[in-house]
Chains A and B, each alone.
Chain A
Amino acid sequence: GENVEQHPSTLSVQEGDSAVIKCTYSDSASNYFPWYKQELGKGPQLIIDIRSNVGEKKDQRIAVTLNKTAKHFSLHITETQPEDSAVYFCAASITGNQFYFGTGTSLTVIP
């Protein structure tokens, strides 16, 4: 099955700085890559996603890039704010509806 690796496991940044989280996947058939934000005591919430026919997607302070050749994708958060502090998960989908998740990155934004 698909294997998704995520780095780093923890990340601390100063407020206003950028944060980057990277993921790799193993199955070249994966074609959908969502990113989820999970706050304490809550379920994961989709923040951005990208499909295999697109190399980059941006939504305000959040952007995701995809390199199909290298089988890796990254989440970029600019101008970080304290409310961005949470655990972030990347995921890869092969069959369209089955998601394989990374191990998560705990992001702390220091005011």
Chain B
Amino acid sequence: EAGVAQSPRYKIIEKRQSVAFWCNPISGHATLYWYQQILGQGPKLLIQFQNNGVVDDSQLPKDRFSAERLKGVDSTLKIQPAKLEDSAVYLCASSFQGPNTEAFFGQGTRLTVV
């Protein structure tokens, strides 16, 4: 079974620039998450999709972050403009629809804002 695919693996940008991350979840997984993991901390949920609808985006800084899930499959997360404090690993995860199901994580995209 193919895992969650993310690209790029690494990205370095200057502050105030924009950046986009891509995620392809496991086939058949209705739920998709984007997490932000700052160095030395646990992952923090940014946004959760159920198919192509947003379930929870309460912790997404909407003035600079946006996300979409096209046709309920792939998803993109965008930051515009980036700040130094956005430097982190951005993890995408997916799971089957339903309660208490396992979330499978991708390898993440490491973003460095200079």
Q: Chain A residues with Cβ under 8 A from B52's Cβ?
A: none
Task: Give the CA-CA distance A36 to B42 in the complex, in Å.
Answer: 10
Whether B107 contacts A43 by the Cβ 8 Å rule is yes
Q: A44-B91, A46-B102, A96-B100 in contact; A102/B107 too (CB < 8 A)?
A: no
B40 proximal to A (CB < 8 A): yes
Q: Which residues of B, 25-48, contact A by the 8 Å Cβ criterion?
A: 31, 33, 40-45, 48
Whether B102 contacts A49 by the Cβ 8 Å rule is yes
Task: Give the CA-CA distance A39 to B99 in the complex, in Å.
Answer: 27
Min CB–CB distance B68 → chain A (angstroms): 19
Min CB–CB distance A88 → chain B (angstroms): 10
Whether A41 contacts B105 by the Cβ 8 Å rule is no
B56 proximal to A (CB < 8 A): yes
- Specify which of A6, A31, A42, A97 is in contact with B101 (CB 8 Å cutoff): A97
Residues of A in contact with B, size category? 20 to 34
Task: Give the CA-CA distance A91 to B45 in the complex, in Å.
Answer: 12
Whose C-beta in chain B lies nearest to the C-beta of A34?
B102
Q: A44-B43, A104-B40 in contact; A97/B107 too (CB < 8 A)?
A: no
Whether B108 contacts A43 by the Cβ 8 Å rule is yes
A93 proximal to B (CB < 8 A): yes
* For the complex of A and B, 6 pairs with smallest distance between CB atoms: A96-B99, A101-B42, A43-B105, A32-B100, A44-B105, A43-B107
| B binding-site residues for A, Cβ under 8 Å | 4, 31, 33, 40-45, 48, 50, 55-56, 91, 93, 95, 98-108
List 25 contacting pairs A-B, 8 Å CB cutoff, sorted by A.
Answer: A6-B42, A42-B107, A42-B108, A43-B4, A43-B107, A44-B43, A46-B102, A46-B104, A51-B100, A89-B43, A93-B100, A96-B99, A96-B100, A97-B48, A97-B95, A97-B98, A97-B99, A98-B45, A99-B33, A100-B45, A101-B44, A102-B42, A103-B40, A104-B40, A104-B42
